[in-house]
Amino acid sequence: MGLKKRIIPCLDIKDGRTVKGINFVGLRDAGDPVELAKQYAAQGADELCFLDITATVEKRDTLVPLVKEIAAVLNIPFTVGGGINDVTLAKEIIKAGADKIAVNSAAVKRPELISELAAELGNQCVVVAVDTKRMTIGDKIIDKVFVAGGRIETDKETIAWCEECERRGAGEILLTSMDHDGTKNGFALEITDTLSRKLNIPIIASGGGGTAAHFEELFKDTHASAGLAASIFHFGELPVPELKTMLVEAGVEIRIPAQTGI
């Protein structure tokens, strides 16, 4: 495909702090988001994702001042999500320094929002975050979409919903496997591969990245264009430069920024 694969650290934000859990629960503190953002930009991350994970549940807007603070220390693309349910707030977040907007629960509730955001901001600025979980219903295995930080099951099937998002103008899908989230046992390769072949927009895979081998597997066995992870980066288990070096050695096309000295 020729396009270089992207490595994206994700800051899950709760009460102004970075947190991380397993399968969406059991959150623990992972540090100051501004410091972490600064560190990832310096380490050569390709992009940064900021998700205010309780904004929807607490029925409030994303933390605009914090977005502004993080954007001020970044020189890489920056995606912000959490509680964004209209174009006005989305524009405010872009104005605060975000490059892209991620929507999840609000898009499921009112899919027209995707088209409105795409019309106003351009498709390249609209990321639809999809939290998916594999369910056994009768004798069928179905991938279902969940909302509200993984708390509520919807009637949407993941693949059909992602296809609809693309039709409505999404520029990218951030696919998080709830079954794999925080486990560090590897990405959900099967659904990631199916989706990345069906859709013409980039798929960011999230949930389960624990080792360089998992990222290598993701990029060699699926058409995902990016791998997103949190705890392995936040807790220093696998620093971004080290991961990129290992991927280059494994023959994966990765962007290598000059200043990291890889």
Catalytic residues: 12, 131
- Residue 75, Cβ neighbours under 10 Å: how many? 8
Task: Report DSSP letters for 218-237, one per residue.
Answer: HHHHS--SEEEESHHHHTTS
Q: What is the dihedral of CA 93, 95, 101, 106, to 10 degrees?
A: 50
Give backbone dihedrals phi and psi of 218, rounded to 5 degrees, phi first.
Answer: -55, -45
Name the nearest CA neighbour of 101 among 86, 39, 186. 86
Question: Which residue type does 41 have?
Answer: A
Is-contact 9 236, C-beta < 8 A? Answer: no
Is-contact 128 175, C-beta < 8 A? Answer: no
Helix (H), strand (E) at residue 91: helix 87-95
